[in-house]
Protein backbone atom coordinates (compact mmCIF):
# COMPACT_ATOMS: atom_id res chain seq x y z
CA UNK A 1 0.00 0.00 0.00
CA UNK A 2 2.80 2.42 0.84
CA UNK A 3 4.49 1.81 -2.50
CA UNK A 4 1.24 2.58 -4.34
CA UNK A 5 0.87 5.89 -2.46
CA UNK A 6 4.42 6.80 -3.37
CA UNK A 7 3.76 6.15 -7.05
CA UNK A 8 0.51 8.14 -6.95
CA UNK A 9 2.32 11.16 -5.60
CA UNK A 10 5.21 11.00 -8.05
CA UNK A 11 3.20 10.27 -11.19
CA UNK A 12 2.07 13.90 -11.36
CA UNK A 13 4.40 16.41 -12.94
CA UNK A 14 3.44 19.21 -10.58
CA UNK A 15 4.29 18.62 -6.94
CA UNK A 16 1.50 21.11 -6.07
CA UNK A 17 -0.96 18.67 -7.65
CA UNK A 18 0.55 15.77 -5.70
CA UNK A 19 0.24 17.65 -2.41
CA UNK A 20 -3.49 17.97 -2.92
CA UNK A 21 -3.81 14.20 -3.36
CA UNK A 22 -2.70 13.46 0.20
CA UNK A 23 -5.39 13.29 2.85
CA UNK A 24 -4.61 13.99 6.50
CA UNK A 25 -1.19 12.95 7.67
CA UNK A 26 -1.39 10.10 10.15
CA UNK A 27 0.11 10.34 13.62
CA UNK A 28 2.73 7.86 12.40
CA UNK A 29 3.73 10.18 9.54
CA UNK A 30 3.92 13.15 11.90
CA UNK A 31 6.14 11.12 14.24
CA UNK A 32 8.38 10.23 11.30
CA UNK A 33 8.81 13.95 10.62
CA UNK A 34 9.43 14.74 14.30
CA UNK A 35 12.03 11.98 14.60
CA UNK A 36 13.71 13.15 11.41
CA UNK A 37 13.89 16.68 12.82
CA UNK A 38 15.56 15.37 15.98
CA UNK A 39 18.29 13.97 13.70
CA UNK A 40 18.94 17.18 11.77
CA UNK A 41 18.35 19.99 14.30
CA UNK A 42 21.66 21.18 15.74
CA UNK A 43 23.15 24.06 17.74
CA UNK A 44 23.93 25.67 14.36
CA UNK A 45 20.23 25.78 13.40
CA UNK A 46 18.74 27.05 16.66
CA UNK A 47 17.63 30.64 17.18
CA UNK A 48 18.43 30.51 20.87
CA UNK A 49 20.23 28.43 23.41
CA UNK A 50 20.78 24.85 22.24
CA UNK A 51 18.88 22.31 24.29
CA UNK A 52 19.86 18.69 23.57
CA UNK A 53 16.81 17.51 25.56
CA UNK A 54 14.54 19.61 23.32
CA UNK A 55 16.11 20.12 19.88
CA UNK A 56 12.94 21.91 18.70
CA UNK A 57 13.57 24.77 21.14
CA UNK A 58 13.66 28.12 19.29
CA UNK A 59 13.45 26.48 15.87
CA UNK A 60 9.81 27.00 14.87
CA UNK A 61 10.55 29.59 12.18
CA UNK A 62 13.17 27.53 10.36
CA UNK A 63 11.30 24.23 10.78
CA UNK A 64 7.98 25.65 9.50
CA UNK A 65 9.83 27.12 6.51
CA UNK A 66 11.47 23.75 5.83
CA UNK A 67 8.10 21.98 5.98
CA UNK A 68 6.57 24.56 3.64
CA UNK A 69 9.48 24.14 1.22
CA UNK A 70 9.03 20.36 1.09
CA UNK A 71 5.31 19.83 1.67
CA UNK A 72 3.76 23.15 0.63
CA UNK A 73 0.92 24.94 2.36
CA UNK A 74 1.04 28.03 4.54
CA UNK A 75 2.91 29.08 7.63
CA UNK A 76 0.85 30.19 10.60
CA UNK A 77 2.22 32.34 13.40
CA UNK A 78 1.22 33.85 16.71
CA UNK A 79 2.83 35.60 19.65
CA UNK A 80 3.64 33.58 22.73
CA UNK A 81 2.74 34.67 26.25
CA UNK A 82 6.37 35.78 26.72
CA UNK A 83 6.30 37.88 23.53
CA UNK A 84 8.19 35.65 21.09
CA UNK A 85 6.76 34.49 17.79
CA UNK A 86 5.81 30.86 17.18
CA UNK A 87 5.37 29.34 13.71
CA UNK A 88 3.72 26.15 12.48
CA UNK A 89 2.21 24.80 9.26
CA UNK A 90 -1.13 24.61 7.54
CA UNK A 91 -0.65 21.94 4.90
CA UNK A 92 -2.33 22.03 1.46
CA UNK A 93 -4.93 19.54 2.75
CA UNK A 94 -5.90 22.12 5.46
CA UNK A 95 -4.31 20.04 8.25
CA UNK A 96 -2.36 22.01 10.85
CA UNK A 97 0.86 20.48 12.12
CA UNK A 98 3.17 21.97 14.71
CA UNK A 99 6.43 20.04 14.78
CA UNK A 100 8.08 22.32 17.34
CA UNK A 101 5.39 22.64 20.01
CA UNK A 102 7.52 20.51 22.35
CA UNK A 103 9.57 23.67 22.93
CA UNK A 104 6.79 25.00 25.18
CA UNK A 105 7.31 22.15 27.67
CA UNK A 106 10.94 23.20 27.95
CA UNK A 107 10.51 26.99 27.98
CA UNK A 108 7.47 27.35 30.20
CA UNK A 109 6.01 29.64 27.53
CA UNK A 110 2.81 28.99 25.59
CA UNK A 111 1.26 30.25 22.37
CA UNK A 112 -1.34 32.98 22.59
CA UNK A 113 -3.81 31.67 20.05
CA UNK A 114 -6.12 34.69 20.16
CA UNK A 115 -4.54 36.18 17.04
CA UNK A 116 -3.20 33.74 14.49
CA UNK A 117 -1.75 35.13 11.28
CA UNK A 118 -0.94 33.43 8.02
CA UNK A 119 2.49 34.38 6.78
CA UNK A 120 1.75 35.78 3.34
CA UNK A 121 3.01 33.71 0.44
CA UNK A 122 6.25 35.14 -0.79
CA UNK A 123 6.73 37.28 2.32
CA UNK A 124 10.20 36.81 3.69
CA UNK A 125 10.03 35.80 7.35
CA UNK A 126 13.79 35.98 7.71
CA UNK A 127 14.20 39.63 8.69
CA UNK A 128 17.35 38.58 10.52
CA UNK A 129 20.02 37.23 8.16
CA UNK A 130 21.33 34.96 10.95
CA UNK A 131 17.99 33.14 10.97
CA UNK A 132 18.05 32.84 7.19
CA UNK A 133 21.54 31.33 7.45
CA UNK A 134 20.28 28.85 10.04
CA UNK A 135 17.44 27.91 7.69
CA UNK A 136 19.91 27.32 4.85
CA UNK A 137 22.01 25.09 7.13
CA UNK A 138 18.87 23.14 8.08
CA UNK A 139 17.78 22.84 4.46
CA UNK A 140 21.23 21.61 3.38
CA UNK A 141 21.38 19.09 6.22
CA UNK A 142 17.91 17.86 5.31
CA UNK A 143 18.95 17.33 1.69
CA UNK A 144 22.18 15.61 2.75
CA UNK A 145 20.40 13.14 5.04
CA UNK A 146 17.61 12.49 2.52
CA UNK A 147 20.19 11.87 -0.22
CA UNK A 148 22.03 9.39 2.03
CA UNK A 149 18.73 7.52 2.31
CA UNK A 150 18.13 7.63 -1.45
CA UNK A 151 15.32 10.16 -1.09
CA UNK A 152 14.68 13.52 -2.69
CA UNK A 153 12.17 15.17 -0.35
CA UNK A 154 10.24 14.80 2.86
CA UNK A 155 7.42 13.33 0.75
CA UNK A 156 9.64 10.31 0.14
CA UNK A 157 10.30 10.03 3.87
CA UNK A 158 6.67 10.08 5.00
CA UNK A 159 5.26 8.02 2.14
CA UNK A 160 8.02 5.39 2.25
30-73: pLDDT as tens digits:
999 999 999 999 999 988 889 899 999 999 999 999 999 999 88
Q: Whole-structure pTM over 0.85, yes or no?
A: no
The mean pLDDT value of the chain amounts to 81
What share of the chain has pLDDT > 70, as a percent? 79
Task: Kindly tell me if the per-residue pLDDT of 17 is higher than 60.
Answer: no
* Exposed/middle/buried for residue 61 (C-beta within 10 Å: 0-12, 13-18, 19+): buried
The pLDDT, as a whole number, for residue 111 is 87
E strands, 2-152, are 74-79, 85-90, 96-97, 117-119
The pLDDT, as a whole number, for residue 131 is 82
Total tally of structural domains belonging to the chain = 1
DSSP 60-79: HHHHHHHHHHHH-SEEEEEE
Please work out, in degrees rounded to the nearest 5, the angle formed at the alpha carbon of residue 154 by the alpha carbons of 7 and 100: 145
Length of the chain counted residue by residue: 160
Domain with 12 in it: 2-159
Amino acid sequence: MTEKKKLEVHEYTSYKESQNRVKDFSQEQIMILKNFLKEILTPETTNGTWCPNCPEFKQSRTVSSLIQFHLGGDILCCRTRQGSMHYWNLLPNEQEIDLTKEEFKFSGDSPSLHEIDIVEEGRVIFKDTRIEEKYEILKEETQRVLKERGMESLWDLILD
